[in-house]
Amino acid sequence: MTSKAENQARFGVPVDSMVFARGVRKSFGNAEVLKGIDLNVPTGSVACVIGPSGSGKSTFLRCINHLEEVSGGVLLVDGEFVGYDLRHGKLYEVNNKLLCQRRADIGMVFQSFNLFSHMTALENLIEAPIMVRGMSKGEAKDKAHALLERVGLSAKADAYPRQLSGGQQQRVAIARALAMNPKVLLFDEPTSALDPELVGEVLVVMRDLAESGMTMVVVTHEIGFAREVGDQLIFMDGGVVEERGEPREMIANPQSPRTREFLSHVL
């Protein structure tokens, strides 16, 4: 039995699950930031996460690709623990090489773009495919050009991040994540640092991705995007999932008073 199938049987993970969380906890020192998060993101679906500042949305995303270690619970990506291997009922921390391989399959897009500032857009896109995946330079460049075209920036291949607008930088950052052929893409408030008129161009790219069948977990304050693109909506508050549901229904008719209050602020 593969470890994936074993994990799925053991934890009751649906077969088509890409990201699966059960009772995920995370503490920084004495402060418990995540207090048992449950989530299932089926392959090819989009989960949108909303919630007030400090509710633990970023922390949860960072746990998914093991930028933060979880303190408890089960968190599987494509049926596997990212930072561990389960053997004989124990979780063994995986070595660095394996961790890096698994992380390479999980794309992440940051609020502050985090493009490598000493590299051009093209160099940003080919760096990890060449250095991590061992792709040839020619192949990586062909792929990078195709991706830049896809996000509408083929003219900016040789521009440095400083020469790009925020919206353009974020689109390059999305293309950079896509260059690794990730199984799932995590977005941490990808449009929050943008001027209002630049938000649209990034959302268009994300919507296109969702329609092409990419599995996505999106932390966002763009309720319109969540309603139209999301397959499920999660409202987090104080480190727990306060309410979840089908986006249209939940936005139109929130059950919890906390959700109602939060939505009234962002709508």
56 binds ligand ATP (CB under 6 A): yes
Residue with smaller CB distance to ligand ATP, 51 or 254 = 51
H, E, C per residue of the chain? CCHHHHHHHHHCCCCCEEEEEEEEEEEECCEEEEEEEEEEEECCCEEEEECCCCCCHHHHHHHHCCCCCCCEEEEEECCEECCEEEECCEEEECCHHHHHHHHHCEEEECCCCCCCCCCCHHHHHHHHHHHCCCCCHHHHHHHHHHHHHHCCCHHHCCCCHHHCCHHHHHHHHHHHHHCCCCCEEEEECCCCCCCHHHHHHHHHHHHHHHHCCCEEEEECCCHHHHHHHCCEEEEEECCEEEEEECHHHHHHCCCCHHHHHHHHHHC
Q: Which one among 8, 58, 124, 259 touches Mg ion, defined by CB under 5 A?
A: 58
Of these partners, ligand ATP, other proteins, Mg ion, none, which one is at the site of residue 153 (CB under 5 to 8 Å by kind)?
none
Q: How far is the CB of 252 from other proteins (least distance, A)?
A: 35
Q: How far is the CB of 109 from ligand ATP (least distance, A)?
A: 14
Q: How far is the CB of 241 from Mg ion (least distance, A)?
A: 16
Residue with smaller CB distance to ligand ATP, 43 or 111 = 111
Q: How far is the CB of 121 from other proteins (least distance, A)?
A: 11
65 binds ligand ATP (CB under 6 A): no
55 binds Mg ion (CB under 5 A): no
Residue with smaller CB distance to other proteins, 80 or 243 = 80
* Binding interface with ligand ATP (CB under 6 A): 28, 33, 51, 53-59
